[in-house]
Structure 1
Amino acid sequence: MKLLTRVIVILIIILGWPSFCYARDDTISWTPEELAFMEEHPVIRLGVDPKFVPFEFFDKDGTYQGITSDYLEIISEKTGLEMVVTPGLTWTEAYEKALHGEVDMLPAVSKTPAREHYFLFSEPYYYFKRVIVVRDSTQGISSLEDLFGQTVAVQKNSSHHSYLADYPQLNLSLYDSVEAALTAVADGSETAFVGNLATTNYLINSTGLTNLKYVAFEAEKQQGLYFAVRNDWPVLIGIIDKTLATITPEERIAINSKWVGADVEPDYGPVYQVVMMVSGVIILIWLVSIYWILRLRREIDTRKKIQCDLEIARQEAEAANTIKSSFLARMSHEIRTPLNAITGMAYLVKKTQVTLTQKMYLDRITQSANTMLSIINDILDFSKIEAGKIELERVSFNLDQVIQDVINIVSYKIEEQRIGFKLTKDPKIPNCYFGDAKRIEQILLNLINNATKFTNTGEVSLDIRLVARESNYYHLAFTVRDTGIGMTDEQIKNLFEPFAQGDASINRRFGGTGLGLSIVKSLVDMMKGEIQVYSTAGEGSTFIVELSLEKDQQSEQEYQQQVSSLYFNDIKTLVLEKTGSNMNIIDSYLGAFGMHCELTTSSVSAINMLELENGKFTEPFDLLILDYDTPSGGGFKFVEMIQENKKILKNPKVIMLLPMMREDLFDQLDTQGVDIGIGKPIIPSVLYNGILEIFRTKAIVANQEFKQETINKDILDNNYGILVVEDNKTNQLIAKSLLEPVGFQVWLGNDGQEGIDLFKAHCSDIDLILMDLHMPVLNGYEAAEQIRTLSADIPIVAMTADVIEGVKEKCESCGIHHYISKPFDPELFVETISKIISVETAIQKESKHPGSDQNNETADVIAVLDREEGLCYMGNNQALYQEVLAAYFTENQDVVEKLARAIENGCYQEAAQMVHKVKSSSGSIGARKLFEVAKVLQKALETGDEKEIASLHPAFSEAMKQLLTTIKND
């Protein structure tokens, strides 16, 4: 019977039943002060961490448990002191109360220098090791240094918090509990957690976070666990230390074995042997079973709570992302709308009687607005890059035009800094490529703007060279150099981090968001390119971007045909330029045009070469390329000297190279006898087109002015009507001022409801609707849906400042199938509206009169091949246009069959490439019907929309056959 009683007592102790109160152990030699203290303070208030497992925590029933609890029980037994836990506190609250003396002791803390200011510490009674916890898929983290620059989760006010605070290279994410921090690492919200091995091991096994692993660091260091007592009670520290000294190693091992080790159960062997001798074995098994059932239920409840918390976190993240997208959309709309007014009004002023200098000032206003737009785009691009939603275009573009656009934007800043700018481009590399021209422009703008910002003296240069060639792909190196402040190795390491700048003073001295280079790096990576940085502090920096670009064979061939047909080798040229490097650049460009030239840096030498009687040249020069700064008296004075020199029998045509930002000189060109002025730095295509203009060769020139005659004649003949639904009065004025002069009749609606009412009243006269998306009363989406119930055919064009992902898709779902983004280019705006009306009208005529031969013939002429439009694209060069048509006919003979095979085999990306190529070339020759069909078919192929593909493929094939037949019968 006595044996059974002992067994039951053992079980009660194991299962955590309430402990008994004990008298003071008089075998310990207490001092009078210690005895007096224990009499005066019989109750010690404790502040505990409710989730510091396995050291201290509350179980499901609210009982205080853990390693520390067992040590406290021994201390109570040996001292007679009652240890009372202050209930209902988090660890942060308990710590704060301890700082203010509202609790007497923190029983499970580590010692830090900061804490020693507020507490007295006992001898350590337990040791643990500090570890890093990461997801099991995370690689490359073996020490604390590998986490520099990243965010690390840690429990607030813990010793690990104090430890990590000494590392400014780490960004700390503070949590109220270890369990919450570990859950954040497990679900990917955090990269890593730093804590002690015992706690993390216990929590990982008890909560089922199976996708985590430990990384040991500072293996030789062990962290101690202490009792921390208010600093005005030193006597209590002596009492605790004396009590701890009486605890035997066997007792310490028993406590440790009880709580540490996720899969280790207590050794019940001796107990079982005793129970085998008595009839109480059934009671033992029953009690153990109940214990494990309760523990299992607790684990299940914990896992359910974790899953619930994860679901709540996911919903909160989605809600936050929605709010972020909504904010970006609204911000974009609110800023882009006034920008549209700035660019629109500047364009309208340019159409009035202004001087050339005023026109250039207006151009600068437009460029400044575009610069502001680029800042908005930086923020939006960074957001898209973060979300992985940014997409690259693949369209044909002219590299020289990209360079020209970049220089137009950066020239003001370069002139403001009073530094030089040099451009060199290998004239032998092709000029026409497929790719995303806007993103390449964005990369170069960021790099050159950055170089300019940090350069006070010297120059910035852009050099474009061919690195290698593989078939039709050209590997180009864009090198941006500056003579600015340079960077240290440490600054270069963080150069491409978002919002990071060289040091704290950079933002104060130079400004900027710190996003530019981060976006550059992301864009270069997306283009599968490389970026390299070389810099020396105080001497300057060099950025080299290598991109692989596919040559646009057809466009490049057309360009070369133009060059070869102009007989530039008959134009005898003299170049007067004082800088040897620029002279060599001009020589290389002219050589690429097939021209031969004479070079000189002396104005006296140039005069002698132009004087036929004394010179050695038997034929006069046709062209003089003159740098304005080279002659001592200025370029205009030199030209005047030539014109007055009677020894010169034939005055050459003159191209004058003008300094950057000297717009005032352009107004003087005509009166000074200069044929054309070209701003420096010299761009090959600009120089080429300048020569074309002087010698009146029929070709397309860069930056040609918008001509009203490019608008289809049927626009003027039919007096088409346009309904503009827009709540912004300035934008209404701009749209009306742009559309009415080219022959459109315009109605204005202030909101969606007014737009619907106006359409009902004038539906027979309105041929197209321009619809803003954000308006009062009814927004653009709602208005479009109601208009679609009145007419399924009327083209509706979204005119909005929204650039957020999903806007176009939402437009399509509401019946809006065309899209113009604000701020828009005025000329492109009018041209786009004209083309939409022409195409839509032709399709409607064809669908309304399918049986009429006459109407079919008209529709075929309009929709299949618009020769007049194609000729415009060829500079009205009839011979060139016929050559291009013949090449198009030959190249596309088997497109219909190849496309059918690709679609049949499910090779949609290959098919999309075929359609894209046809779309590009079809638009260039005026085949608008095929162009429009190809545009929507390409999108369907890229998204794999089989229903749309099945619907559009026959229309594409039929349009291609009709086009080839039309070209053949021409």
Structure 2
Amino acid sequence: MKRKLGPVLILLILLSGIPDFCYASDASINWSSDELAFMEEHPVIQVGVDPKFVPFEFFDETGNYQGLTSDYLEIISQKTGLKFEIVKNLTWTEAYEKAFRGEIDMLPAISKTAAREQYFLFSEPYYYFKRVIVIRNTTKNINDLGDLYGQTVAVQRNSSHHSYLADYPQINLSLYDSVESALTAVANGSETVFVGNLATTNYLIRSTGLTNLKFVAFESDKQQGLYFASRSDWPELISIINKTLETITPEEKIAINNKWIGVEVEPDYGPIYQIIMIIGGIIVIIWLVSVYWILRLRREIAKRKIIQSDLESAKIEAEAANNIKSNFLARMSHEIRTPLNAIIGMSYLAKKDQVIGTQKMYLDRITQSANMMLSIINDILDYSKIESGKIELERVPFNLDLVIQDVINIMSFKIEEQRIGFKLAKDPKIPNCYFGDAKRIEQILLNLINNATKFTTVGEVSLDIRLIAKQANQYHLTFSVSDTGIGMSEDQIKNLFDPFSQGDASINRRFGGTGLGLSIVKSLVEMMNGEIQVYSSEGEGSTFIVKLVLEEDVEKEKEYQKQVQALYFNDIKTLVLEKTGSNMNIIDSYLSAFGMHCELTTSPVSAINMLELENGKFSDPFDLLILDYDTPGGGGFKFIEMLQENKRIAKKPKIIMLLPMLREDLFNRLDDAGVDVGIGKPIIPSILYNGILEIFRTKAIVANQSLKREQKIESNRQNNYGVLVVEDNKTNQLIAKSLLEPEGFRVWLGDEGQAGFEIFKANQQDIDIVLMDLHMPILNGYEAAEKIRELSKDIPIVAMTADVIEGVKEKCEVYGIHHYISKPFDPEHFVEIIKKIVSRNVSQKKEIEITPTEQSKENAHVKIPVLDREAGLKYIGNNEVLYQQVLSAYLVENQDVNDKLAEAIKNKHYKIAAEIVHKIKSSSGSIGAKPLVLVASDLQKALEANQKDKIEDLYGQFVELMNELLENIKKE
């Protein structure tokens, strides 16, 4: 036995101690002419390395480049004559970024990922390693990648493991510049988990003495390759490296691997061999024990593979279940939104008829209840979007007073139902016109006020809007919602913003709700770079403070302020009679902002005395009386009777009466009582201003309204557009027809897709727009649109759908549906959208170019302008001055862009060219240059995919459009 083992042991010992091989230049490799030319032109290759990627590549204590990769580079250098110059004093992140920018030619030890393949060319792999999880010995319940969901995982920045884990959004990443620092963080408890390759982590754990760490293997059947990666425009270098790697023998590879890797993968059997040589019999026992454990290990591996397979199957099932959940939510929303559209639409149509105050109040309550139901649906969908990071904020001009008014209108029913008070205070120094997402701000305020109202049974809820700072046109505002409700404990506040969470189970039973509102509020506020704070004590109420920074719409605010200043009512003497005085300071501040001065009182008797003109006590009588309906001593109407009967009042003032919430019935009595204007509480500044304006500029307003009515009638007469409504829901058909016909539209109705197509085919010359439901029997909206597109390429088709499934808009575009209206829709907004689409399409039709020949008549096309001013203005809030500044900056920045692009394409630097085109695509979209954006998008894709046949044609189109755009801007 000893004789047999002796030669084997000697051979193993010799192999383990073999020094570096000495390689001779290999002239037998069949180099191509391009490869030979490349080596002659580029004798020195700049190489970027990971200085701590042991044992593959690293710098030793003397600063020499060492490691498995270093040996392979030495072989390639000797066989090719190329010199590989190592760029020193860089971290891996810095080396990677320099290679990404083309400042370094090659990365010799890198894994291949889909993202990296867009920027680098890769050789064949020359080594394979396995990925492992590293945790402390005391850490439990981490056995696979799935156990890392929801946890923070340490990983080396820009490594293949970084790219690999980035595909798992459920895992949070903590990035480190080196593996050693990441492992140290896990060892000292700063991090819980690290993911890296087995060889490097094993080497560093042993060399640094981090004995409290252990490995967890996963994806045991998968191996990761190590590659040489070069810049994308050097395919010859990759070909040279591949040919050289093919000449390296298996024995040479084993020798290199044993030199650098073997000590990590296999235990040191030297002492065991010595014992075997002395005691031959023991080897038999060891061999038998080894066989036993190997067999057992194989069984364990087989079991682990089964478990892994089961986990993968469970993951697939979980993803499928998640998709089913998302589709169910979207479908549920669609089914609920459709009848809601009918409820809101029919209520709107009913209010357009002559209805008395109470009927209008009932219709308003129906609409408010429908909107509340819609808000619940939106809460669920918004939370789902926030979870997946797919919610987006708009930037559109809006009026803050109108947002507040909408919030109050929606919440007034709830406040009245609770029989509590509501108080509004707004700093008069705050502008009204801003850029931002008005709907999301409204959603934040609705949720906060609804929450405050729900938990308040005695007292009041208040909304206080204050200015805390101003920087240029940025206004720092606070929206404070306070209540006198049940309050909260500290423990309840801690969990307040958790989704599906409420104070406790009893609150859930008593007050109901989804538990999503405040969670959504916090997410939306943070998305707006704002802050939310909560102050509360049990039994003493709560205060929520939202801090937001809003950008002022300077142009519209100037217009508004000019209007206010032009109509200052300095000479209007005003008396305010308010029941308790709680709103007096607010009214006083609002009137002061209008340039008016007023006298304040809470006493009807005092008010009568102030209005009387005895002995010339008041030589200047009051012009305006602002009167609270709940005035003591019989109420507001009783007080007016007293004024009318009082003969000592020579001049009766104009009267504005402040009415309680949800008392629309009182509006019917205002004329009979001699009240000029009624305003609902709480008082909104712009509403009060408009009320005063209505009284003292009545003739102008009446004339203006009359003119507007005449213009509208004339507009409706001129509007003879034809609309095809394809909708299988009869109620929605009726709503669309009832909304459009009064505006002058001629309406055709189709019950399903095939019928709609037939109607369009028969009346194509008379139909200017198609409104298309997507879900219909026989032929759905997509199929019907596709058939209509065969007859007409330019007819606008508008999707009317309650679908909220992701990808619907994109699918509509594929089928030629380029406009989208979501149900339920706002009736007035709906009509305006249809008018805008039709008028724009008709104006484009007028630009159709027709030549005398019959062939050209058939090929007539719509000429789309390269610069759409209307679209560009819309992107920046219709600010004409700012738009001109943006165009000027665009012109200066892009004067030489065609030259830069031509240079990059000529030298086949497609990556640089793609970056140039991408930048142009982004900036061109923001000014309304849609044709250039479309061509730039296609050219960018062609450049990134190295599609040389497409690049030339698209480049020509790009240059032509770019030149035309720049000329147009110069004319502007």
TM over 0.5, shorter chain: yes
Pick from 205, 208, 216: which aligns with 1:204?
216
Kindly indicate whether residue 752 of structure 2 is the aligned counterpart of residue 751 of structure 1: yes
Task: Name the SS of the counterpart of 2:825 in structure 1.
Answer: coil
Q: Give the aligned residue type for 2:331.
A: R
In the aligned structure 1, how far is the partner of 2:939 from the partner of 2:640?
Answer: 64
**2:921 touches 2:932 (CA, 8 Å); kept in 1?**
no
CA distances 1:896-936 after superposition (whole Å, capped 9, x unpaired): 332245565969899979976x7xxxxxxxxxxxxxx5799
Partner of 1:717: 718
Partner of 1:609: 610
In the aligned structure 1, how far is the partner of 2:851 from the partner of 2:569?
Answer: 52
Partner of 1:689: 690
Task: Name the SS of the counterpart of 1:467 in structure 2.
Answer: strand
Q: 1:656 to 1:817 in 2, by over 3 A?
A: same
In the aligned structure 2, how far is the partner of 1:350 from the partner of 1:373?
Answer: 20
Q: 1:726 to 1:955 in 2, by over 3 A?
A: farther
In the aligned structure 2, how far is the partner of 1:781 from the partner of 1:651?
Answer: 66
**CA apart distance, 1:659:** 1.1
In the aligned structure 2, how far is the partner of 1:891 from the partner of 1:792?
Answer: 35
- TM-score normalised by L of structure 2: 0.64
Partner of 2:483: 482
**CA apart distance, 1:731:** 0.3
In the aligned structure 2, how far is the partner of 1:738 from the partner of 1:268?
Answer: 92
Q: 1:721 to 1:380 in 2, by over 3 A?
A: same
Q: Give the aligned residue type for 1:897.
A: S
Kindly indicate whether residue 798 of structure 2 is the aligned counterpart of residue 797 of structure 1: yes
Task: Name the SS of the counterpart of 2:846 in structure 1.
Answer: helix
Partner of 1:148: none
Partner of 2:619: 618
**CA apart distance, 1:663:** 1.5
Q: 1:700 to 1:900 in 2, by over 3 A?
A: farther
CA distances 1:192-227 after superposition (whole Å, capped 9, x unpaired): xxxxxxxx999825876999xxxxxxxxxxxxxxxx
In the aligned structure 2, how far is the partner of 1:447 from the partner of 1:413?
Answer: 13
Unmatched 5+ residue regions in structure 1?
A: 5-127, 142-183, 188-199, 212-261, 852-858, 874-884, 919-932, 965-970
Kindly indicate whether residue 493 of structure 2 is the aligned counterpart of residue 502 of structure 1: no
Partner of 1:549: 550
**CA apart distance, 1:763:** 0.8
Unmatched 5+ residue regions in structure 2?
A: 5-136, 155-191, 196-211, 224-263, 853-862, 898-914, 942-953
In the aligned structure 2, how far is the partner of 1:413 from the partner of 1:601?
Answer: 28
**CA apart distance, 1:349:** 1.0
- TM-score normalised by L of structure 1: 0.64
- In the TM superposition, 1:342-381 aligns within 5 A as 342-381=343-382
In the aligned structure 1, how far is the partner of 2:322 from the partner of 2:663?
Answer: 48
Task: Name the SS of the counterpart of 2:671 in structure 1.
Answer: coil
In the aligned structure 2, how far is the partner of 1:345 from the partner of 1:285?
Answer: 88
In the aligned structure 2, how far is the partner of 1:823 from the partner of 1:780?
Answer: 18
In the aligned structure 1, how far is the partner of 2:568 from the partner of 2:761?
Answer: 60
Partner of 1:450: 451
Task: Name the SS of the counterpart of 1:799 in structure 2.
Answer: strand
Q: Give the aligned residue type for 2:806.
A: E
Partner of 2:831: 830
Q: 1:524 to 1:954 in 2, by over 3 A?
A: farther
Partner of 1:338: 339
Task: Name the SS of the counterpart of 1:362 in structure 2.
Answer: helix
**2:568 touches 2:594 (CA, 8 Å); kept in 1?**
no
**1:909 touches 1:942 (CA, 8 Å); kept in 2?**
no
CA distances 1:540-564 after superposition (whole Å, capped 9, x unpaired): 1111111111111111111111111
**2:397 touches 2:435 (CA, 8 Å); kept in 1?**
yes
CA distances 1:530-586 after superposition (whole Å, capped 9, x unpaired): 111111111111111111111111111111111111122232211111332310000
**1:769 touches 1:795 (CA, 8 Å); kept in 2?**
yes
Partner of 1:537: 538
Partner of 1:896: 887
Partner of 2:397: 396
**2:917 touches 2:940 (CA, 8 Å); kept in 1?**
no
In the aligned structure 1, how far is the partner of 2:336 from the partner of 2:527?
Answer: 28
Moved more, 350-359 or 709-718: 709-718
**CA apart distance, 1:619:** 2.0
Partner of 2:321: 320
**2:802 touches 2:823 (CA, 8 Å); kept in 1?**
yes
Q: 1:682 to 1:208 in 2, by over 3 A?
A: same
In the aligned structure 1, how far is the partner of 2:963 from the partner of 2:785?
Answer: 29
In the aligned structure 2, how far is the partner of 1:910 from the partner of 1:602?
Answer: 68
Partner of 1:664: 665
In the aligned structure 2, how far is the partner of 1:850 from the partner of 1:564?
Answer: 56
In the aligned structure 2, how far is the partner of 1:709 from the partner of 1:961?
Answer: 40
Q: 1:729 to 1:578 in 2, by over 3 A?
A: same
Task: Name the SS of the counterpart of 2:673 in structure 1.
Answer: coil
- In the TM superposition, 1:130-169 aligns within 5 A as 131=140, 133=142, 135=148, 138=151
In the aligned structure 2, how far is the partner of 1:907 from the partner of 1:618?
Answer: 75
In the aligned structure 2, how far is the partner of 1:615 from the partner of 1:942?
Answer: 80
**CA apart distance, 1:662:** 1.4
**1:608 touches 1:615 (CA, 8 Å); kept in 2?**
no
In the aligned structure 2, how far is the partner of 1:798 from the partner of 1:815?
Answer: 10
Task: Name the SS of the counterpart of 2:649 in structure 1.
Answer: coil
Q: 1:768 to 1:724 in 2, by over 3 A?
A: same
**2:153 touches 2:193 (CA, 8 Å); kept in 1?**
no
Q: 1:285 to 1:914 in 2, by over 3 A?
A: same
**CA apart distance, 1:737:** 1.1
Q: 1:944 to 1:633 in 2, by over 3 A?
A: farther
Partner of 1:43: none
Kindly indicate whether residue 388 of structure 2 is the aligned counterpart of residue 387 of structure 1: yes
**2:555 touches 2:879 (CA, 8 Å); kept in 1?**
no
**2:532 touches 2:547 (CA, 8 Å); kept in 1?**
yes
**1:912 touches 1:942 (CA, 8 Å); kept in 2?**
no
**CA apart distance, 1:264:** 10
Partner of 2:470: 469
Partner of 1:273: 275
User: RMSD in angstroms over aligned alpha carbons?
Assistant: 4.5
**CA apart distance, 1:447:** 0.7
**1:711 touches 1:831 (CA, 8 Å); kept in 2?**
no
Kindly indicate whether residue 800 of structure 2 is the aligned counterpart of residue 809 of structure 1: no
Q: 1:206 to 1:793 in 2, by over 3 A?
A: closer
Partner of 1:567: 568
In the aligned structure 2, how far is the partner of 1:316 from the partner of 1:821?
Answer: 32
**1:628 touches 1:657 (CA, 8 Å); kept in 2?**
yes
Partner of 1:645: 646
Q: Give the aligned residue type for 1:619.
A: D
**CA apart distance, 1:415:** 0.9
Partner of 1:12: none
Of all paired residues, the percent bearing the same amino acid is 66
Partner of 1:737: 738
In the aligned structure 1, how far is the partner of 2:958 from the partner of 2:378?
Answer: 33
Partner of 2:847: 846
**1:785 touches 1:815 (CA, 8 Å); kept in 2?**
yes
Q: Give the aligned residue type for 1:482.
A: D
Q: 1:270 to 1:370 in 2, by over 3 A?
A: closer
Partner of 1:765: 766
Kindly indicate whether residue 810 of structure 2 is the aligned counterpart of residue 819 of structure 1: no
Q: 1:842 to 1:534 in 2, by over 3 A?
A: same
**CA apart distance, 1:845:** 1.0
In the aligned structure 1, how far is the partner of 2:826 from the partner of 2:488?
Answer: 39
Q: Give the aligned residue type for 1:273.
A: I
In the aligned structure 2, how far is the partner of 1:826 from the partner of 1:611?
Answer: 49
In the aligned structure 1, how far is the partner of 2:938 from the partner of 2:548?
Answer: 26
Task: Name the SS of the counterpart of 1:671 in structure 2.
Answer: helix
In the aligned structure 2, how far is the partner of 1:477 from the partner of 1:566?
Answer: 29
Task: Name the SS of the counterpart of 1:498 in structure 2.
Answer: coil
Partner of 2:425: 424
In the aligned structure 2, how far is the partner of 1:837 from the partner of 1:342?
Answer: 27
CA distances 1:460-502 after superposition (whole Å, capped 9, x unpaired): 1111111222222111111111111111111111111111111
Q: 1:718 to 1:524 in 2, by over 3 A?
A: closer
